Chain A
Amino acid sequence: MLRLLKDTLVSQVVTLWKVFLHAFDKTDTVEYPDVKPQMFSRWRGRIILSRDPDGEERCVACNLCAVACPVDCIALQKAEDEEGRWYPEFFRINFSRCIMCGFCEEACPTHAIQLTPDFEMAEYVRQDMVWEKEDLLINGTGKYHDYNFYRIAGKKIGGKDKGEARNEAVPVNVRSLLP
């Protein structure tokens, strides 16, 4: 009986009291937009496309971000310059569908697509939330400063011949008989 009382009545009263004591605690609410919140650098906000340390587009249009996207809001088309470098002919993100999950950033093998702390992206017209490559591309390396995919990958591009990537030997001379 006492146990029942304790479980039913006393615990309820204790709960009421403890909740009541919250009246004297500080409120956690930040009064945005009067007070601007301090965002963390790894906050998953607006998506950008970055450039490599040489100032070239990092995106190689591999489509991995698009396939990783759970809401399928990324669409792009691969194009290739005369010297073999891949780049996106168009790169479109429909931010009205984006859920800022950051899977695209995790999938990106070249650190091209990155999420930034900017979260103020509301628009009055939904069509304005469709961003093309021109809107997404920034003039910098974003969060990752040194990575340059083409310096590591073995594909030949303008300014980097076969055998010039990291850890590569000079191209084989097929006609040589030397071991």
Chain B
Amino acid sequence: MRFEVGSALSIGAILFTVIIVAAMLIWVERRLLGLWQERLGPNRVGPFGLLQVVADMIKIFAKEDWVPPFADRFSFLLAPPIIMVVILMSFSVIPFAPGVGVIDSDIGVLFVLAMASLGAYSVMLGGLSSNNKYALLGSLRAAAQMVSYEVFMGISLLGVVALAGTFNLREIVLSQADGWYILPQCVGFVIFLIAGVAESHRLPFDIPEAEQEIVAGYHTEYSGMKFGMFFVGEYLGVVLVSSLIVVLFFGGWLGPAFLPPIVCFVLKASVFVAFFVLLRAAIPRPRYDQLMNYGWLFLLPLSLLNLLLTGAFVLWQEGM
């Protein structure tokens, strides 16, 4: 069996790696938070506390698989797999390295955006079916937040698409051979980064699950492996957004010749994963109205302006 785009081996390896990485992120995040907060973080289970994840897994699998009697059973059970599935699906279009990927799609960017939109259903269903006021509040917040930020997430990407002239992510990477899009699209990058944090509802934009206000938001009633799916889904989201940033703005696997492309990609992505953790360690959560105002009144005009300028530049370049 050859290791090429779309091969079973490739698919299997990617699926396995992505899930393992997402799981390990639990440990990575806690250690990094400890580092930045002058603590130690989990260091008791295994060397450097590496087996903490295993311990957590054992705990989460061993928990009773319980559905609250007042919840809507079908949608309650349906919600957690959705988020897992849509995010894993998004990974299928990510070009990790030459020859490493699931499909080479011409509508890669659109596919990712589409999948991100579907993720909102998971959160919505989870919150509504729980039949719990905190869960409902959380899911309402999540829906509003995800729908809003999707708008300019998409618009911010259009600059890159315009420059590359394609929706195919693999081609976008290749088109950055002469220079990464971070330079011409730095505004787009910042907007995408912010929107990405909001999409994966990570701190500081974890308003849907703000534990100081609404217990645990949309997953208040979840426990055991169903909660685990939400939990791992969140870390998968982190990996996905980091990968997308690398692919769209930092030249994907492109790098110095002495490094294998996949290593280059992983290194770049790791930086952004760490950055996500740093955000959590440093920035406090905004108020809900601040979040919405910020999105609609600041980021949206800014992303439109960015698109306008990029479009003008592309037209001007073509005209020359």
A–B direct touch in complex (beta carbons closer than 8 A): yes
Q: A residues touching B (Cβ–Cβ < 8 Å)?
A: 12, 15-16, 18-20, 22-23, 25-29, 31
Q: How far is the CA of A20 from the CA of B36 in the complex (A)?
A: 6
Say yes or no: A12-B38 contact (C-beta < 8 A), given A19-B278, A20-B278.
no
Beyond A16-B283, A19-B36, A19-B282, 14 additional pairs, beta carbon < 8 A = A15-B282, A15-B283, A16-B278, A16-B279, A16-B282, A20-B278, A22-B35, A22-B37, A23-B35, A26-B38, A27-B39, A27-B40, A28-B39, A31-B40
| B34: Cβ under 8 A from any A Cβ | yes
Q: How far is the CA of A26 from the CA of B37 in the complex (A)?
A: 10
Q: Which of B269-315 contact A (CB under 8 A)?
A: 278-279, 281-283
Q: How far is the CA of A18 from the CA of B278 in the complex (A)?
A: 10
Taking CB atoms, residues of chain A closer than 8 Å to B36 are: 19-20, 22-23
Q: How far is the CA of A31 from the CA of B39 in the complex (A)?
A: 10
Q: How far is the CA of A166 from the CA of B227 in the complex (A)?
A: 71
Taking CB atoms, residues of chain A closer than 8 Å to B279 are: 16
Q: How far is the CA of A71 from the CA of B35 in the complex (A)?
A: 38
Smallest distance from the beta carbon of A2 to chain B beta carbons, Å? 14
Q: Which of B11-60 contact A (CB under 8 A)?
A: 34-40
Smallest distance from the beta carbon of A3 to chain B beta carbons, Å? 14
A contact patch SS: helix
Could you list 27 examples of A-B contacts with CB < 8 Å? Answer: A12-B283, A15-B282, A15-B283, A16-B278, A16-B283, A18-B282, A19-B36, A19-B278, A19-B281, A19-B282, A20-B36, A20-B278, A22-B35, A22-B36, A22-B37, A22-B38, A23-B35, A25-B38, A26-B38, A27-B34, A27-B38, A27-B40, A28-B38, A28-B39, A29-B38, A29-B39, A29-B40
B36, B40, B279, B283 — most chain A CB neighbours (10 Å): B36
Smallest distance from the beta carbon of A38 to chain B beta carbons, Å? 19
Can you list the 3 inter-chain pairs with the closest CB atoms, starting with the nearest?
A19-B282, A29-B40, A22-B36
B contact patch SS: helix
Taking CB atoms, residues of chain B closer than 8 Å to A18 are: 282
Smallest distance from the beta carbon of A171 to chain B beta carbons, Å? 66
Q: How far is the CA of A169 from the CA of B154 in the complex (A)?
A: 95
Closest to A17 in B: B282
Q: How far is the CA of A27 from the CA of B35 in the complex (A)?
A: 8
A20, A26, A28 — most chain B CB neighbours (10 Å): A20
Q: How large is the interface on B (under 10, 10 to 19, 20 to 34, 35 or more residues)?
A: 10 to 19
Q: How far is the CA of A29 from the CA of B44 in the complex (A)?
A: 13
Taking CB atoms, residues of chain B closer than 8 Å to A19 are: 36, 278, 281-282
Smallest distance from the beta carbon of B47 to chain A beta carbons, Å? 15
Q: How far is the CA of A12 from the CA of B39 in the complex (A)?
A: 22
Taking CB atoms, residues of chain B closer than 8 Å to A26 are: 38
Taking CB atoms, residues of chain A closer than 8 Å to B282 are: 15-16, 18-20
Q: How far is the CA of A26 from the CA of B35 in the complex (A)?
A: 9
Q: How far is the CA of A19 from the CA of B40 in the complex (A)?
A: 15
Q: How far is the CA of A15 from the CA of B278 in the complex (A)?
A: 10
Q: How far is the CA of A20 from the CA of B282 in the complex (A)?
A: 8
Smallest distance from the beta carbon of B195 to chain A beta carbons, Å? 15
Q: How far is the CA of A28 from the CA of B283 in the complex (A)?
A: 22
Q: How far is the CA of A12 from the CA of B34 in the complex (A)?
A: 20
B35, B38, B279, B282 — most chain A CB neighbours (10 Å): B282
Taking CB atoms, residues of chain A closer than 8 Å to B281 are: 19
Q: How far is the CA of A15 from the CA of B284 in the complex (A)?
A: 10
Taking CB atoms, residues of chain A closer than 8 Å to B39 are: 27-29
Q: How far is the CA of A140 from the CA of B39 in the complex (A)?
A: 40
Q: How far is the CA of A25 from the CA of B282 in the complex (A)?
A: 16
Smallest distance from the beta carbon of B212 to chain A beta carbons, Å? 19
Taking CB atoms, residues of chain B closer than 8 Å to A15 are: 282-283
Taking CB atoms, residues of chain B closer than 8 Å to A12 are: 283
Q: How far is the CA of A15 from the CA of B282 in the complex (A)?
A: 6
Smallest distance from the beta carbon of A13 to chain B beta carbons, Å? 10
Closest to B190 in A: A9
Q: How far is the CA of A27 from the CA of B283 in the complex (A)?
A: 21
Closest to B204 in A: A12
Closest to B281 in A: A19
Taking CB atoms, residues of chain B closer than 8 Å to A28 are: 38-39
Q: How far is the CA of A65 from the CA of B67 in the complex (A)?
A: 48
Taking CB atoms, residues of chain A closer than 8 Å to B38 are: 22, 25-29
Smallest distance from the beta carbon of A23 to chain B beta carbons, Å? 5
Smallest distance from the beta carbon of B156 to chain A beta carbons, Å? 16
Smallest distance from the beta carbon of A22 to chain B beta carbons, Å? 5
Q: How far is the CA of A31 from the CA of B49 in the complex (A)?
A: 14
Q: How far is the CA of A91 from the CA of B38 in the complex (A)?
A: 44
